[in-house]
Structure 1
């Protein structure tokens, strides 16, 4: 076999093997690497590079070496699941860089972290003044995680004491002009509902690039033709407007009638409707 053909064949073979090894090692191997995962990636890359470019090497030896470096990481990860001490030995522990708002200079020196390095990592966490940090830790992966001081943390509805609507992940029900049955079922919907909603918008499913349904059942559509405008979902505003109109009508009826029993009935139901509006408004806005 000519040299170029052998290199081509080896490249294809080792590409397939590398793909299978990566799938076997799992998604963790593709995230931020700890020390052992870093070493594993380098060794596997080196083995493949040598046996792809050097036609004098034995392909079977390369495949055997890759098999060993598939078994070793899986064994190591299994042992990490069983032993916290072994996990600390392989992965290491996080190093506290800031604690109680105080920079830990000794820990910075231990990790060979300069002041510029620390400030850069704080900026990566959208913090530009070290005095705003309550706690910061250098993870074994090299990432710095930061906890801002309470007064510098983002305001949330919980802090404000406000109630918000529960929300689940949106379901993609149309992709590339085709309906996706499983996401529709996850949202407790079907193709008949989808066709009806698209008909309301005067849109055919073949013209839909992407369509998603939120947890409230509102359909959002993006078309292939960017020049066309799609109506904004109006179910929530219309429901809130209808409830406010009912409450206003009840007040009007209470003012219009001379019958005291009817007046009290209208006023009582108007107050109940207002209470319902106050409770549901955060969910409909």
Structure 2
């Protein structure tokens, strides 16, 4: 067999072996590498590349070597689930860089980070003023986490005791011009609804590259032809405008009538409608 053909076959073989091993180890191994997993991953890759091109090497010895290096992080992961001490040793521990708004210079030096690098990490989190930070740390996997001071955190509905409806994630219901029935039914919609919405947008199904629907029945589409502009849904703004008009009409009625009972009724309902508008306005904009 020619050497070039052996290299091709060996490369394909080890590609399959490494793929199966990676699937066996799980998604965590490719998303959050510890120091130990990083070292073994590099070694496995080097062994696979060496054996793929070294035609005189024993291919089964190479597979055995890769299995040993693959089993090591798998075993370490099992032990880490049981032992906090072993987990800290193998996976490392997070290092606090800022605590109570104060930079911990010793921890920066320990991780070999400069002040410029700390500022860069903060800017990557959209923080340009260090006085806004209450707590910040470098995770064991290298991810930088920041907690802003309470007065600098974004305002949430909970902060003002506002109740909001649960929002489900948007579902992709059209892909490459084809309807996906499973996600469509997952949000309680059907093809008839989809056909109606596409007619409102004056869009053919075959022209839709990607379509997503929200749980409130709002459809957004992206077309194959980027030059065509799809009008944004207007139902919500129109509904909000209608509610505001009704509320204004009630106020006018209350001012124009001579009946005390009618004036009180119009005024009362005007106030109720205004309260309802205030509660749902953010959903209809």
**TM-score using structure 2 length:** 0.89
The residue aligned with 2:267 is: 267
The residue aligned with 2:145 is: 145
Deviates more, 1:123-132 or 1:80-89: 123-132
State yes or no: 1:157 paired with 2:156.
Answer: yes
Q: Name the SS for the 1:182 alignment partner.
A: helix
Q: What CA deviation, in whole Å up to 9, does each residue of 1:71-104 have, x standing for no partner?
A: 3222221221222222112112122222223232
State yes or no: 1:88 paired with 2:88.
Answer: yes
Q: CA deviation at 1:108?
A: 2.8
In structure 2, the CA distance between the partners of 1:215 and 1:162, relative to structure 1 (3 Å rule), is farther
Q: CA deviation at 1:282?
A: 2.1
Q: Distance in 2 between matches of 1:247 and 1:95?
A: 56
Q: Name the SS for the 2:120 alignment partner.
A: helix
Q: CA deviation at 1:39?
A: 1.2
Q: CA deviation at 1:195?
A: 0.9
Write out aligned runs for 1:76-115 (5 A).
76-115=76-115
State yes or no: 1:49 paired with 2:49.
Answer: yes
Q: Distance in 2 between matches of 1:48 and 1:236?
A: 58
Q: Distance in 2 between matches of 1:116 and 1:249?
A: 60
Query: Is the 1:165–1:283 Cα contact (8 Å) retained in structure 2?
Result: no
The residue aligned with 1:217 is: 217
Aligned residues: 284
Q: CA deviation at 1:154?
A: 4.3
State yes or no: 1:35 paired with 2:35.
Answer: yes
Q: What CA deviation, in whole Å up to 9, does each residue of 1:44-76 have, x standing for no partner?
A: 101101110101112222222222333322222
In structure 2, the CA distance between the partners of 1:157 and 1:50, relative to structure 1 (3 Å rule), is same
Q: Distance in 1 between matches of 2:108 and 2:232?
A: 52
The residue aligned with 2:205 is: 205
Write out aligned runs for 1:61-72 (5 A).
61-72=61-72
Q: CA deviation at 1:258?
A: 4.5
Q: Distance in 2 between matches of 1:205 and 1:244?
A: 35
Computed over aligned residues only, the root mean square deviation of the Cα atoms, in angstroms, reads: 2.4
Q: Distance in 2 between matches of 1:116 and 1:273?
A: 54
In structure 2, the CA distance between the partners of 1:114 and 1:251, relative to structure 1 (3 Å rule), is closer
Q: Distance in 2 between matches of 1:243 and 1:131?
A: 44
In structure 2, the CA distance between the partners of 1:156 and 1:255, relative to structure 1 (3 Å rule), is closer
Query: Is the 1:165–1:282 Cα contact (8 Å) retained in structure 2?
Result: no
The residue aligned with 1:11 is: 11
The residue aligned with 1:240 is: 240
Q: Name the SS for the 1:271 alignment partner.
A: helix
Q: Name the SS for the 1:221 alignment partner.
A: strand
Q: CA deviation at 1:281?
A: 1.3
Q: Name the SS for the 2:196 alignment partner.
A: helix
Q: Name the SS for the 1:269 alignment partner.
A: helix
In structure 2, the CA distance between the partners of 1:250 and 1:134, relative to structure 1 (3 Å rule), is closer
